Structure 1
């Protein structure tokens, strides 16, 4: 190692601080809007379809463009693109705060998603560059804990801001944070590059269009009719576009999403459970924040505080889950955490009613929060250790993209189930729609827990041989020098242990 230990520690601390702060801002903005939905609806109007697009416009652009954002970082410099993404996100936040109506708000949210798509996957890659392989589980745990705190504080901060100011200020909050991080990121993050690739414009357009068509049909299904030509055509077009996307990615020389990554069981499984986890999480949060305010009668800040048994646990538990995954592997932690979320959400669905005591809601909220805490760090550890070092940027983007596609689908499906079974006209009708939507989320968590059993525990246990460090440009080596760019695996290699692309 050509850099001394104090220099390495300083770089690591700065990288952890900056990437965690950026991830916190994105996570906060992703969920804080759900707390503001009743206020936005009262101020700007709109029904469940319109409100869902204030969430989906962000997450859809975010998910569809994440892998493109990763590719930009790999080719043009991760720090450079991180700073550009941060600038776009900050400017779009100001535009959302100034939006005069729902169309303008939805458009600003889409641009926010674009900035976040460039920004977020690079937080994980820049952190991987700076942290030694044997300490990444702990670093990912801290990173995940800070991101989890955005989940915890989002409803509380959003509620307090809405109560004391207005919903517009949930977007103004991002502006000073972004303006502070811009110069610090430029000065304190080391520049690094991955394998240079051309941008996969056709792949990006096919993936974005396919997901958009499916989500649009899910959102429009109840109002337009599930058997209407509009909805059926959207499902068919979306499915065809995604099939064409996969075929294109298999044939192009510079794929946005290299399909060879999915030959490895660990990469395929961890992305499947990530998609299902976000499906259940986002679909549930989207409706529960409205339930606590519209049915239970709490103010926005009171609703946020009452969500803390669910949302605050990641702040405390996630760093320990990351350290534990360094020691014992990730499979058992993921299986248990996802199972806890399934039980917690099913329990909440069973007890929900127009009039139910808050004490009855606490146990399922705690179980769900503990389960979410056990998911965040181990899943990042598996993703980043399951691919070669030069593929970690695109792997991070692919994983984050698929999880957020799960979130988009979760909001769309939950909204469709809610509309098909209930509505806003009365508390009883709202609960009629909420209950089956929560059971759908619980089912997604349960399926993900079963799928996590397919992970090889031998592989999910981190290894210095597999977790090769990246080499930042303009600095010394980030890890021990090696003459082989491919990570080695002790002993014979089975199909389950083979690296993608090997």
Structure 2
């Protein structure tokens, strides 16, 4: 879309992007009403094509329309609007689901339709149109190869298990797609070099400054994925009802809205490298706060402190710096396609990051059962039968009397003085999750991994508890049944044994004390979920630290150039 905007004018392509997004949203909603999953997938593809052109074209238009000395502030305002809208849009989606009900999720798509119509009307009336004077043929083959490359890369990585690379990379769901991606790289280079107007300027990758800017964009996509897990993190930490964590993201959105315009003014004054480094540093500190304070000591204060710091840092990152760095290194007539390339690389980062993050969660989930089983009791003390010794001696004496033996049924007297019930030999999975639960984790994605992890943990606990209780009660009940059977044959000692039965029945209530270890098992399950959150934000912190490292390699670049850049991309090795 960015390339088409540079060729045919930003206004018509921007409006086309809005139309595609609105139509795709409408069709997504209708797919629920007609009950077609295939229609939903196709509609999401249409929606994504439209969304892919909206932000790059708008950013390029604003970035090239203002004086260079105010470009940072303008791009910062774009970042502020984008950040606030993105966060409040998610909260609005939660509100729509609260009102309409989760089963009526199509309304989160329908709400986009009137918004799209309003933007189209405003755009037709007020948007200016800028386009290239000369238009070369569309690079159809380059576009097809690029799309195939991206899809094969994303599908291969999506199915890759980062904790079992040796096995997963040989899977038919992984290696053919990654191999196709590698094979298509030289094909894409050849096609683009022969194209009159290539869909992607290969000079971007031979220019050191632009190449490192694209690397930073990839890392920023990884960092942005930290926001996706914020609602689940808030729900886990504060024990909020499912779906309520999205409202805490408002704090992150407000902080991002403050940080983005601030980053724009600082970019104009100090340059994008300083601002981007500041954003990565603040995000790193926020991740440390979450890891060391909010997760081990969850409270509204600790969680909000981490989220506000995270939002402020992200405001600096997604605001003006990267867009500024890209626009300063390309000619104005390539601004839309250049920012489109930047957005593409960032989108790849936002796709690769969940695959790794989901791998962390799935790996933690598959090891959680061992931690829970360690907390469950191997033995449980059963209440002693009243007068057990006397009853056992009397029964054994009667069984030894030939005249009475025939009247006494076979009865295991060992239950009379049994004080412990052994659970160590009870049948279990041996510490391994059932295949269906493993598959549930392995096939998860960024939209459902946290909920699936909770489901797995709850199911393990729910499945284990009744089995343990049944073993406990079964052992005691055997003694009760035996006594009842003996009572049917014995006339003597009836009063004493009836009294023993009454006390035995009341003793069953005391068995609950043997299940106190189950509470510790549930606490261990909660610790496992918190460990998942910790792993995610350790990965987030690592991406921030890596961003700071890459910034040291990026030259200052042209900050306020005396003359506009030429039509080619110069090699900025500074």
Q: Report the TM-score when normalising by structure 2.
A: 0.65
Aligned to 1:244: 187
Deviation at 1:183, TM superposition (A): 2.0
- Matched residue, 1:500: none
Superposition deviation, residue 495 in structure 1: 4.3
Q: Which residue of 1 aligns with 2:439?
A: none
Counterparts in 2 of 1:73-222, with a 5 A limit?
A: 73-100=5-32, 102-166=37-101, 167-194=105-132, 196-222=135-161
Counterpart in the other structure of 1:325: 267
Q: What CA deviation, in whole Å up to 9, does each residue of 1:289-315 have, x standing for no partner? A: 234346754346631232233332121
Give CA deviations for 1:90-127 in whole Å, capped at 9, x if unaligned: 11111222222554333322211111123332112222
**Residues 238, 299 of structure 2: 8 Å contact kept:** no
The structure having more radius of gyration, on CA atoms, is 2
Is 1:364 matched up with 2:309?
Answer: no
Mean CA deviation greater in 182-191 or 155-164: 155-164
1:432/1:209 CA distance change after superposition, 3 Å: farther
Matches of 2:562 and 2:93, distance apart in 1: 42
> CA shift at 1:129, angstroms?
4.4
Pairing 1:448–2:558 present? no
Given the superposition, is the C-alpha separation of residues 115 and 495 from structure 1 closer, same or farther in structure 2, using an over 3 Å criterion?
closer
CA distance in 2, matches of 1:135, 1:94: 38
1:432 deviates by: 4.1
Deviations 1:460-492 (A, max 9, x none): 5234534x7xxxxxxxxxxxxxxxx6699xxxx
**Which residue is equivalent to 2:278?**
336
1:373 corresponds in structure 2 to 315
Partners of 2:289 and 2:139 lie apart in 1 by 44
CA contact (8 A) 2:149 2:181 kept: yes
CA contact (8 A) 2:231 2:244 kept: no
| Structure 1 partner of 2:343 | 400
Deviates more, 1:216-225 or 1:414-423: 216-225
Q: Deviations over 1:312-343 (max 9, x none)?
A: 21212211211221122111111121122233
What is the aligned length?
406
TM-score normalised to structure 1 length: 0.73
Distance 2:158 2:236 in 1: 21
Instruction: Kindly state the Cα deviation for residue 244 of structure 1 after the two structures are TM-superposed.
Output: 3.2
Question: Contact between 1:349 and 1:435, CA under 8 Å: does it hold in 2?
Answer: yes
1 CA distance for matches of 2:548 and 2:275? 10
Question: Deviation digits for residues 198-217 of structure 1, max 9, x if unmatched?
Answer: 32222222222222222222
Distance of 1:147 and 1:259 partners within structure 2: 29
Contact 2:206/2:571 (CA < 8 Å) preserved in 1? no
Q: Secondary structure at the match of 1:99?
A: helix
> Measured at CA, do residues 436 and 226 of structure 1 come closer, stay the same or move farther in structure 2, by a change above 3 Å?
farther
CA distance in structure 2 between the partners assigned to 1:323 and 1:367 by the alignment: 19
Contact 2:139 2:196 in 1 (8 A): no
TM-superposed CA distance for 1:369, in Å, is: 1.5
User: How many angstroms does 1:79 deviate by?
Assistant: 0.8
User: Aligned equivalents of 2:181 and 2:147: distance in 1?
Assistant: 10
Look up the match of 1:26: none
TM-aligned CA distance change 1:412 to 1:487, over 3 Å: closer
Is the CA contact (8 Å cut-off) linking 1:250 and 1:258 kept in structure 2? no
Task: Specify every segment of 5 or more residues in structure 1 that has no aligned partner in the other structure, as ranges.
Answer: 1-68, 469-484, 498-502
| Match in the other structure for 1:56 | none
Cα distance in 2 for partners of 1:287, 1:455 equals 30
Q: Write the mapping of 1:264-279 to structure 2, written as runs, cut at 5 A.
A: 264-279=207-222
C-alpha contact (below 8 Å) 2:56/2:340 kept by paired residues = yes
Deviations 1:365-421 (A, max 9, x none): 222212111122122211112111222122111111111111121222222332233
Q: Distance in 2 between matches of 1:354 and 1:496?
A: 45
Give the unaligned 5+ runs of structure 2. Answer: 366-452, 458-525
User: Using the alignment, how far apart are the partners of 1:494 and 1:243 within structure 2?
Assistant: 22
Q: CA deviation at 1:136?
A: 1.9
CA distance in 2, matches of 1:361, 1:226: 38
Deviation at 1:88, TM superposition (A): 0.9
Q: CA–CA distance in 2 between the matches of 1:350 and 1:244?
A: 48
Deviates more, 1:333-342 or 1:122-131: 122-131
Q: Relative contact order (alpha carbons < 8 A, sep ≥ 6): 1 or 2 greater?
A: 1
Give the superposed CA RMSD.
Answer: 2.8
2-structure distance, mates of 1:106, 1:355: 41
Deviation per CA, 1:142-182, whole angstroms, max 9, x where unpaired? 11110111233133222222212243322222111110111
Shift of 1:429: 4.5
